[in-house]
Amino acid sequence: MSDIIKLLPDHVANQIAAGEVVQRPASVVKELLENAIDAGASQIKLIIKEAGRTLVQVIDDGKGMSTTDARLSFERHATSKINSADDLFALNTKGFRGEALASIAAVAHVELKTKPEGEEVGTQIEIEGSVIKSQEVCATLQGTSIAVKNLFFNIPARRNFLKSDSVELRHIIDEFQRVALAHESIVFMLYHNDSELFNLPKANKRQRIVGVFGPKTNEKLVPVTEDTEIVNIDGFIVKPEFSKKTKGEQFFFVNDRFIKHPYLNHSVSAAFDGLLPDRARASYFIYLKVDPKSIDINIHPTKTEVKFEDEHAIYTLLRAAVKHSLGQFNIAPVLDFNRESNMDTPYSYKNKEAQVPKIEVDRHFNPFEQEQKVKTNSFTGTPHYEKKRAAGWENIYEGLDKRNSSNSFSHLQIENEPEPESLFVEHESKGFNDLKETDSDSANTYQLHNKYIVSAIKSGMMLIDQQRAHQRVLYEEFLRNITVKESVSQQLLFPLRLDYSPAELAIFKDLKESLENTGFALDMPEDGVLEVSGIPASIQESEVSIVLEQLLSDVEQEVPDTGFSQTDVLAKSMAKSMAVKTGEKLDELSREHLVNKLFACTEPTMSPFLKKTFITLTVDELDRKFNA
């Protein structure tokens, strides 16, 4: 039999190796950024086009390469970073395999420009699919620029396998952030399709974290430090009250290298024990320094896993350090996560059948309707005189006196109470029919400072906080809609496409059913996108993103545990963002609607956030004031 074993040609071997090193544009980003850091750069610019499909370019001001090195750098196993196997156990650099550039050049069009310090001119090399296309002298700044174009041009299967731009960009940003967080003294910039995504100046660790995650991050961080023989621990934990149900920001760095380490993650989580609700996760930025000899970073090709010699000791030290910080900075949970979940259940909607109520909710109620009319008229120049509704105020209370009238408290049937009026037996002093002034035709409402609604009542007067009152009304409305699944949705002609992070989308996924019960129609057609094709009748299309944004932040803060308290958070959040605000003018009709609906609520005295919705001043009290 003839011999059949052949050595693979280099370009084939490189392509195979590339499969492991270069999985997607983000892998190229990681390798190029790490090379720039190893070259001692003080400023690194990352330029991306079309999520890395067409261009990934890294420009650094590091030490550059000689012409020979530039050529050699694309050879497999060509590295300046280790000389012998011993060096593997004392690594001070990111790279050491000498595989990255060779692999990248095997599957893309690469253009390298580089010039070492003190040289007049630099070297430019173009290489496509491992084939050198050109090499010439060029004028360039000190340092190195590597542009990787048309990634996977020769492996269509790989190219087609790439996810949507938003997903690939997310991976790129993840890599960029990890590297930027680990090297706060290097200036980093990231541009995508010509827009600047990050511009991070030289900073300390706290400033860098804030630079990456935004100014609100600053107040959330609590420092952690501990110096021992085995390990030096430095960094920050995120206060428990800002923890997220979805995986928050969890960053471990070992000797300035981002790593994933479930065991050490457990150690930090253990320190948070009892301070976090069940599904919330601790967030942290922890920088560990250990003797390079005591770790093995060689166990995984993409190098985010590291093996420690003293894993158990580090576990214990880390947990103690985090506990210490939590104690020292007097971190107690703001929310009582151990509360009885029953207590989260307002009223008894939870276990009610879905078909019970005959609710008459005025879904077209719009407190601004009248106001808009006024505006339109004044716009056309026609003076608009609002007609006084004769005896209108009296009609408002009709339903309070007679059962089954259109304004009646049929809402109360939700509670399955035998007598609709029983509410007023329980809350006698709060029943508006007992309070209202019945003997006057001219009884009316009045708006004070665009904030309070003033009304005369039997015993004196009542001042209603319009914002809180409307919150209460909307809250109960949403709660009912979510629970009894009876709501009206308005279909959007053109669905809204909103961009969210994976963590945020996970929250929407959790809330999807409840949101749909309020009238939203949601879809997640691809990663990073929330498509809204229907919205509750009571919301304007332009308000959708605000309502959802508010919801995200409320959910992140409240960390609802149970399905029902999640419903509660949702109803509260939507009520908060949609209620009329202090400072908004309400016309008479809107005021009447609002007062009427408030007193049709199950719990009219308090806003959903447990603030008084109204106060009363009795004639006695007024008399006393006058006689004081």
Q: Which residues bind Mg ion (CB under 5 A)?
A: 35, 95, 100
User: From CA 452, how far away is CA 468, in angstroms rounded?
Assistant: 10
Residues paired with 454 in a beta bridge: 446, 463
Closest to ligand ADP by CB, 104 vs 396, is 104
Options 55-63, 307-315, 443-451, 608-616: segment touching ligand ADP (CB under 6 A)? 55-63
Both tokens assigned to 364: 């077209």
Beta pairing, strands 452-457 & 445-448: antiparallel
User: From CA 376, how far away is CA 380, in angstroms rounded?
Assistant: 6
Does position 73 bind ligand ADP by CB under 6 A? yes
Both tokens assigned to 44: 């690194």
How many residues touch ligand ADP (CB under 6 A)?
A: 23
Residue among 129, 134, 79 nearest 104 (CA): 129
Residue nearest to Mg ion (CB): 95
Residue nearest to ligand ADP (CB): 95
Number of H-type helices and E-type strands within the chain = 20, 22
Closest to Mg ion by CB, 79 vs 250, is 79
Helix (H), strand (E), coil (C) string for 20-46:
HHCCCHHHHHHHHHHHHHHCCCCEEEE
User: From CA 551, how far away is CA 519, in angstroms rounded?
Assistant: 15
- Closest approach, Cβ 39 to Mg ion, in A, equals 10
- Closest approach, Cβ 149 to ligand ADP, in A, equals 17
Closest to ligand ADP by CB, 81 vs 206, is 81
Does position 62 bind ligand ADP by CB under 6 A? yes
75-104 residues near ligand ADP, rule: CB under 6 A: 78-81, 95-102
Both tokens assigned to 513: 């059913």
- Closest approach, Cβ 39 to ligand ADP, in A, equals 3
101-140 residues near ligand ADP, rule: CB under 6 A: 101-102
Residues paired with 222 in a beta bridge: 237
Given 14, 15, 27, 35, the residue binding ligand ADP (CB under 6 A): 35
- What are the Cα distances from residue 620, in Å, to 8, 236, 616, 617, 627? 101, 59, 11, 8, 10
138-157 residues near ligand ADP, rule: CB under 6 A: 144
Closest to Mg ion by CB, 20 vs 219, is 20
Residue 319 sits at φ, ψ, to 5 deg, of -60, -45
Given 22, 33, 56, 65, the residue binding ligand ADP (CB under 6 A): 65
- Closest approach, Cβ 230 to ligand ADP, in A, equals 28
- Closest approach, Cβ 104 to ligand ADP, in A, equals 8
- Closest approach, Cβ 28 to ligand ADP, in A, equals 11
- Furthest CA-CA distance within the chain: 122
Both tokens assigned to 621: 């009290």
Q: How far apart are the first and last CA of the chain?
A: 120
- What are the Cα distances from residue 291, in Å, to 97, 263, 294, 308? 20, 19, 5, 10
- Closest approach, Cβ 134 to ligand ADP, in A, equals 19
Closest to ligand ADP by CB, 281 vs 303, is 303
Closest to ligand ADP by CB, 36 vs 594, is 36
DSSP letters spanning 476-515: HHHHHHHHHT---EEEEEEEEEEE--HHHHHHHHHHHHHH
Closest to Mg ion by CB, 95 vs 536, is 95
- Closest approach, Cβ 307 to ligand ADP, in A, equals 19
**Chosen from ligand ADP, Mg ion, none, partner binding at 604 (C-beta under 5 to 8 Å by type):** none
User: Environment class of residue 364 by beta-carbon count within 10 Å: exposed (0-12), middle (13-18) or buried (19+)?
Assistant: exposed
**Chosen from Mg ion, ligand ADP, none, partner binding at 458 (C-beta under 5 to 8 Å by type):** none
Closest to Mg ion by CB, 97 vs 411, is 97
**Chosen from ligand ADP, Mg ion, none, partner binding at 186 (C-beta under 5 to 8 Å by type):** none
Does position 71 bind ligand ADP by CB under 6 A? no
- Closest approach, Cβ 87 to ligand ADP, in A, equals 11
Closest to ligand ADP by CB, 105 vs 578, is 105
User: From CA 17, how far away is CA 21, in angstroms rounded?
Assistant: 7
**Chosen from ligand ADP, Mg ion, none, partner binding at 128 (C-beta under 5 to 8 Å by type):** none
Query: Where along the sequence are the contacts to ligand ADP (CB under 6 A)?
Result: 31, 35-36, 39, 60, 62-65, 73, 78-81, 95-102, 144
